[in-house]
Structure 1
Amino acid sequence: MELPKAIVPLAGTTTLTPAPTQTANTAGGEAGRAPHQYWNKFFSYAEYYELHAVERPNWVFNPAYPPQPVWVYRGSNTPDKEFSATVMAHYGKPVLCRIYNDLPQNHVGFGTPEISTHLHNLHCGSESDGFPGDYYSPNKAGPTLTTKGKFKDLLYPNVYAGFESLQDNIGDYREALGTLFYHDHTLDFTSANVYRGLVGFYLLYDHLDSGDEADPTPGALRLPSHPYDYPLAFADRRFDAAGKLYYDQVNPEGVLGDKVMVNGMIEPVLKVARRRYRFRFLNAGPSRFYAFSLVNGSNVKQTFTYIANDGNLLPKPLLNQNIVTLGVAERADIVVDFSKYLVGTTLYLVNRMRQEETRGPKDIRDTGVRVLKIVVDRWPTSQDLSMVPANLRPLPTYTAAQVAAAPVRRFIFDRSNNMWAINGQFVNVTGPRFSIPKGGFEVWELVNINDGWSHPIHIHLEEGRILSRVRNGQQLPIPAYEQGRKDVYVIHENETVRILIRFRDYVGKYVMHCHNLIHEDHAMMLRFDVVQA
């Protein structure tokens, strides 16, 4: 099966009916959310988008399997060969995204036909964050909504974190995000609903990473741009003897897929031009870890340039790399120069990570399983104007004094009563475990004392910086790709990761959870509230 040569961005719309409102338009069919924060600041110039969570009845993962139903997000112009819609947005241009729940309410099988869409890890109000208890359908409302509804309006401001405290009200460009993704986050059913397919990309650009490789603006990075800016979502799946998608949502250890989907297809082909490409890798879960290498037909590893981790551009590119490791929900952007290959060259993206159960990876092998074939099949139709400059995006600064003065919170991720717990407690979305005064730095210690389990921990609303990694009492060096800003922190067996984080601009309810989605659905999640200081 062949992937599209280029991704088609979701088209905007000029009007939404009924018109969006600051408070929920429950009379018009909207679910009963909290009022939008900073409405008067952002709504007047917001761009409108519309997404529908729908069932596609006859999706083909691979010709070896029968056509079968999947749940996906689609827009009015999403092509048939694309699994879910991709949004391409820009800082300084807010988005009002209306998301309809058109899933079959009488569905059969695993999952649940409610949705709560989380844009991971946009800096936005809690009412638009996709809080797990904010799930909705025409027939049901989650415990943190007031009413059920057919749709929900989400306000994505597309501003840098810290905008409230800066005089220009724009924020610090060093806080920019780039490769984001959205997915269902329904309480207790995130893994099952994502497994059915509810995940898509949301790419953000700004004056530095402008999405235009011919950008004449001084300082613009001119990285490879659309259609050579290509997102790739990897997701593990298992199929039964009849070739039907299989999942056990009751088992607290989940189901480890033995096949890897790439943008909804198993072992597809991507045909590329003889020029530079920017690939945006996403581990869409639910459980498998990856170690990707690009190899030729003789399994010789090829080199590429690593430019971003968790959607955040690194300060400098990492040159001559040959492996990318990803925990669940981690992202990595790389640039591959296909101009050094002859037309007709075949390459493979292989997964070298060995993993035999959902508890986590075992080791990295010299050879791997082929998940994507890449064929250099043509010359580019125009000159390749892209580049990878020596400097990308600088990091925000912090001082040793700020770290020393920051309050410390300690979180232990462990197994309890055949479920998954944080500090010995299971999730309760109706009330916060603790409240955080808005604006100050905090140090969070993420601790894994379990034997053999790995936990990719995600914190909503803000990015953080890794201060240290300690395993079995020994401090580990922080690899170069983890020395930028992150929103997912993988903690392996007997490991403690200390991060510096700061919650700004917004107040309200948010969550921290394990992004091994089986662990999340079996209670390894907590609610915290950000409050006015």
Structure 2
Amino acid sequence: MPSGPAVAQGGLMTWGKSRARAPVAWLVAGLLLAVALALAPSAPSVRSAGTSASAAAAPGSATLVVDRGSLSFTPSTVSLRGGGTLTLVNLDTFDHTVTSVATDAEGTPLFDVRVPAGTSATITGVEALAEGSYAFFCKLHPQMRGVLSVEGGDGTVTPELPAFEQRLVVPRRLTGPLVTIPMRQARVRMLPTGPRTRMWTYGGSYPGPTIVRPAGRETRVRFIHQLPRKVGALTVHLHGDHHAAEHDGQPTTQLVRPGRSRVYEYPLTYGGLPEPSSFFFYHDHRMDHTARNNWRGLQGMFVVKDPSESSLQLPTGRRDVPLMLADRSFRSDNELTNPFAHGPTMVGHHGSMAWTGPHAPPDDATVGTHVLVNGRYAPYLPVSATRYRLRLLNASHFSSYSIGLSDGRPLLQIGTGNGLLRKPVVRDRVLLGPAQRADVIVDFHGATGRDLVLDSVPNAAGATGDDARQAALMQFRVGAEAPDRSRLPARLPSPDLVDVPKTVSKTWTFGLGETHGHHAGSFWSVNGRAFDPERVDHRARLGTVERWRLRNVSDVTHYVHIHAEQWRTVLRDGKPPPPWEQGLEDTWRLEPGEVVEVAARFEDYTGSFMIHCHMLDHEDHGMMARFDVVR
């Protein structure tokens, strides 16, 4: 696979703790690798170019090896004379990459080469590096980490932080009871220089407009399909909301065809009462094309406001900022790459589907080289030295982010995407995987005149979140103090949680399957099967409360999303969930071997709904199932 901005396919598959790990923690921007496991955002250590005393002893070539099943680089620390050659010999059955943590000013890794299973390759870009230490990792299996030490030589390539040249764009807000959004092609400013990028958009922008509505007030959204006919039929799912099945964005039925429109109805009620304060997002959900359609731009945010929040004195207006994180890759002309052009081939048919080819499961992943915030790479936002409410959404296909501020000031989490927590939780970092959201307050008092970076760093090796992406996300430029009537709440009006049944009604098992014979291939599975829209895998009775068990038997982390209801987390690996997971949820991180139990009451609506992995290539390649709510 070529390196540089065009790289898009070859994503972030989060392998779990049950597999062997590289013993050295990831070197992050500006510091040499420490023996301690603590990580901090910075740039790799780079010494002045020239011949050092040790350069003569460093070899002119070095080799990394990945043995079958090891999920580690051997050796994990390697030295090389400047201008030398680094080679990866991949003896594993999976593809791997050797990717620099450090990037140039445009956000492109200093080296980034994908090496297919059973092959070897020279890691291009290494020969141009200046003297210094450079952390690297595998994008497909991010806990595979190592360090390259370059001694001497005439290389001039060094890491650079983003310039933060673009102002953050906060999408326009739509607040009426009837909203019309055309789905059309438009050119969008994403990178700071060069041409605008052609996208499939909601309303001509990426992200689409943010819909803001009061809880309990019926909202109708008319989507008009104005994209080219070759795009095919589309569907829209309001992720996290509670609504009728026909308005849920069914993957194969009730589609919006080219030139047509469809009105989706969202009452914003639950059991006849107004929904809690929520942060949803809307996106395409078309079977087999969800990853492609989201990659091209069909994503937008939706805020439900609860009037009871007014008594809390939370930050409002311009100090209430929705932030959508998503990664993309670009060609040299700033157009999006097409990681789906040479994707896996489907074999078989519904009920026995599988995929074959170099990007078939488990090597299917779509990860971009650039992390965008509200559609722009490395933006900045001028803020006053006051409190701000940040609504964080991870809309990436595969990447997870451990989000925090560069000076270490805390994030006060007050809610999930589905409502407020009972009590706020003080957090150094918030880990969000695909489709997860968090509602946090940041206090910029005392930071006047400083530029603070919202960034993501992986946690220590072996800890939850060690697969999180390393990235500088955006910059806050803190101005003067200003009047601030907001307060940090000690208690919150969180929604009631259902009483939990003692018995588990349904177990959903997420794994990797294979087919053999004429239609040999692989697929992501739920309860051993690939998705079949005609098959009903479970029936739940309207008005009842059910307790479900989610079990991951694969070697890959999954993010499991359940439609229809808003769920409480009962247990995580047999223990009470952490404080930030004790509100309402709709998407859970499941590491290999993990078991999570959840519960919800089936209210208001009958019909067909989905449970699936929100790593979108997993969903497209079989990891989805249908359940029906019946009377």
TM-score above 0.5, yes or no: yes
Of 533, 537, 549 in structure 2, the residue corresponding to residue 445 of structure 1 is: 549
Matched with 1:237 is 328
Matched with 1:125 is 244
- Is 1:492 the counterpart of 2:591? The answer is yes
Cα RMSD after superposing both structures: 2.4
- Determine the C-alpha separation between the residues in 2 that align with 1:450 and 1:48: 44
- Tell me the number of residue pairs that the alignment of Structure 1 and Structure 2 aligns: 438
- Determine the C-alpha separation between the residues in 1 that align with 2:207 and 2:459: 27
- Determine the C-alpha separation between the residues in 2 that align with 1:500 and 1:459: 11
Identity of aligned residues (%): 31
- Is 1:411 the counterpart of 2:518? The answer is no
Deviations 1:382-401 (A, max 9, x none): x32222321112342444xx
Shift of 1:74: 1.3
Moved more, 265-274 or 129-138: 129-138
Matched with 2:49 is none
Moved more, 308-317 or 323-332: 308-317
Of 434, 438, 451 in structure 2, the residue corresponding to residue 328 of structure 1 is: 434
- Determine the C-alpha separation between the residues in 1 that align with 2:283 and 2:171: 18
- Determine the C-alpha separation between the residues in 1 that align with 2:322 and 2:468: 24
8 Å contact from structure 1 (residues 5, 271) kept in 2? no
8 Å contact from structure 1 (residues 94, 158) kept in 2? yes
Shift of 1:63: 2.6
Deviations 1:218-265 (A, max 9, x none): xx2221112211100001222345543223232341222222111111
Shift of 1:69: 0.7
Of 4, 7, 10 in structure 1, the residue corresponding to residue 174 of structure 2 is: 10
TM-score, normalised with respect to structure 2: 0.66
Matched with 2:265 is 155
Deviations 1:454-504 (A, max 9, x none): 11111101111112122xxxx455211011111001110111111112211
Higher-Rg member (1/2):
2
Call closer, same or farther: CA 1:11–1:485 in 2, change over 3 Å.
closer
Shift of 1:7: 4.6
- Determine the C-alpha separation between the residues in 1 that align with 2:226 and 2:480: 40
- Determine the C-alpha separation between the residues in 1 that align with 2:334 and 2:220: 39
Matched with 1:40 is none
Give, as a single letter, the amino acid of the residue that structure 1 aligns with 2:408: K
Deviations 1:356-411 (A, max 9, x none): 9xxx964469xx4211111113554xx32222321112342444xx521x552111
- Determine the C-alpha separation between the residues in 1 that align with 2:385 and 2:232: 44
Shift of 1:92: 2.6
- Is 1:293 the counterpart of 2:293? The answer is no
- Determine the C-alpha separation between the residues in 1 that align with 2:167 and 2:220: 29
Deviations 1:188-223 (A, max 9, x none): 1111111111111100012212xxxxx4xxxx2221
Call closer, same or farther: CA 1:398–1:182 in 2, change over 3 Å.
closer
Call closer, same or farther: CA 1:123–1:133 in 2, change over 3 Å.
same
8 Å contact from structure 1 (residues 247, 255) kept in 2? no
- Is 1:515 the counterpart of 2:624? The answer is no
8 Å contact from structure 1 (residues 288, 355) kept in 2? no
- Is 1:258 the counterpart of 2:366? The answer is no
Matched with 1:454 is 557
SS in 1 for 2:174: coil
Give, as a single letter, the amino acid of the residue that structure 1 aligns with 2:474: L
Of 371, 374, 383 in structure 1, the residue corresponding to residue 473 of structure 2 is: 371
| Structure 2 residue ranges without an equivalent (≥5) | 1-164, 344-358, 515-521
* Superposed counterparts of 1:117-516, under 5 Å: 117-134=236-253, 136-139=255-258, 150-159=260-269, 161-163=270-272, 171=273, 176-209=276-309, 215=310, 220-240=311-331, 243-249=334-340, 250=343, 251-252=359-360, 253-295=364-406, 300-319=407-426, 321-342=427-448, 344-353=449-458, 362-363=466-467, 368-380=470-482, 383-399=483-499, 402-404=500-502, 406-417=503-514, 418-451=522-555, 453-470=556-573, 475-476=574-575, 478-516=577-615
Give, as a single letter, the amino acid of the residue that structure 2 aligns with 1:150: R
Give, as a single letter, the amino acid of the residue that structure 1 aligns with 2:174: L
- Determine the C-alpha separation between the residues in 2 that align with 1:410 and 1:375: 48
Deviations 1:435-468 (A, max 9, x none): 21111111111111112x1111111011111121
Deviations 1:411-451 (A, max 9, x none): 11011122111011111223422221111111111111112
TM-score, normalised with respect to structure 1: 0.77
Of 181, 185, 188 in structure 2, the residue corresponding to residue 51 of structure 1 is: 181
| Structure 1 residue ranges without an equivalent (≥5) | 13-46, 107-111, 140-148, 164-170, 210-214
8 Å contact from structure 1 (residues 446, 498) kept in 2? yes
8 Å contact from structure 2 (residues 401, 433) kept in 1? yes
Shift of 1:67: 2.3
8 Å contact from structure 1 (residues 87, 202) kept in 2? yes
- Is 1:530 the counterpart of 2:629? The answer is yes
- Is 1:69 the counterpart of 2:198? The answer is yes
SS in 2 for 1:208: helix
